[in-house]
Amino acid sequence: MPGPLSRLKPLLQGAVRHRRVGVPALRGGSRIGAMKLWSLLGNSQKLDGGAMFGNAPRALWEKWSPPDAQNRIELACRALLAQPLNGKTVLFETGIGAFFEPRLRERYGVQEDRHVLLDSLAAAGFRHEDIDVVVLSHLHFDHAGGLLAPWREGAAPELLFPNATYVVGAEHWHRALQPHPRDRASFIPELQPLLEASGRLELVAGEHSEALGESVRFVFSDGHTPGLMLAEIVGPDGAEGRTHGGVVFCADLIPGRPWVHVPITMGYDRNAELLIDEKRAFLEDKLARDVRLFFTHDPGCALAQVTRDGKGRFGTAHELAELHAHPLAA
C-alpha cells in the first residue's frame, strides 16, 4: 500500500488528451538563458485570517499577516508568465479574476471590480490572446476565475485566452465535475463545460504534458484538494543527473511565506495532516535541488529560496516581491 507521500511522486501514466486541437508540442525546451519570467498580479482578496491559518492561534499568525477590523488578511492572486517555454508563452494560473457579480464579490472579499490580471498582462507587453498555454494547479475559483471575462449583468460567462491550451490535472478535473459538498462552493459550475467545449483542454495524469514537453515537470498533491498539480519549470541538469535550479508554482500547498512553516495549514485544506507530510517532502526536495518557490497568495513576495536552520525548520531567503523579465537562472 502506498505511503502518504506517494502522491508527490509523478504518476506513471502518460498525459491524457481530451478534445485538444492545435499545433503539436515542440520537442525540447527553450534555452534556459533565454527564458524570462514575469509575476503578474490579479485581483486581490481579503479573507478571514483564522480560516487561512487553520488551527494556528491568532497571536501567532497576526505577526505574519496583520488582520483588519473584520479579522481579514490581505491576499494576492498572483500568476506566473514564462516566455519562451518550450517555444511558447505560458501562463501559470489566472487568479480569481472579476467574474463574480457584485454581491458575491463582496462576500469573497475581492477588492477590485476590473480584471486586474488583464491589466498586468498589458503592463508586461502581452494580451490574453498572446498566451499559448494556461497551466492550472486546480480549478478553485481563486485560481481559475481569471479564465473568465469580467461580469456583466445579463451576460453569459465567457472564456478568455482563445489561443491557449488549458492544462489541468486529470484527477482534479474529475473532482471538479463531481465535487464533495465540503468544497462544492469553491468551483465555478459554468467553467468546466466551457473548457471542455473549447477543444483546447489537456488533462494530465503524468510527469509531463504534451503542450509543454519535458520543460515542465508535474507532481501531484492531495492535502489541499484531490489531484492538485504542482508545476516545476525545469532547470539545468545537476549532480547525478538531477535537475537543479528552476522554479516551482506552489499553489495552495504553500500559499505564501508563512505556510513554509511545516505545521501551518489552512482551514480550507481537506486533509491537514496529509498536507503537512506532502509539504515536508516537497520542501526537502526543493532545498536539495535549489528550486525557487513561487507564491500565488503572498501579497509581499513572489519568489524565494528555501532554507533550513539548525533545528530543521524551513524558511525562505533571497525574496523577490516581483519579477519583470527575470531570467530563470538568476
Gyration radius (Cα) of the chain, Å: 18
Over the stretch 151-188, which tens digit does the pLDDT of each residue have?
Answer: 999 999 999 999 999 999 999 999 999 999 999 999 99
Q: What is the amino acid identity at position 111?
A: Q
pLDDT of 15 above 70 = no
Q: How confident is the model at residue 330 (pLDDT cuts 50, 70, 90)?
A: low
**Confidence band (pLDDT; 50, 70, 90) for 237?**
confident
pLDDT of residue 243: 83
First to last CA, the chain: 41
Average pLDDT over residues 186-202: 96
Q: What is the CATH number of domain 6-327?
A: 3.60.15.10
d(CA 274, CA 5): 8
Residue 212: pLDDT band (50, 70, 90) is very high
What is the predicted pLDDT for the residue at 4? 44
User: Residue 3: is its pLDDT beyond 90?
Assistant: no
Q: What mean pLDDT do residues 72-97 have?
A: 97
Rounded to whole angstroms, the Cα distance separating 114 from 116 reads 6
Domain coordinates in residue numbering, the chain: 6-327
Mean pLDDT in residue range 131-154: 97
The share of the chain scoring above pLDDT 90, in percent, equals: 85
Neighbours of 126 (CB within 10 A): 18
CA separation, residue 48 to residues 62, 142, 165, 296 (Å): 11, 15, 34, 17
pLDDT of amino acid 217: 97
pLDDT of amino acid 18: 40
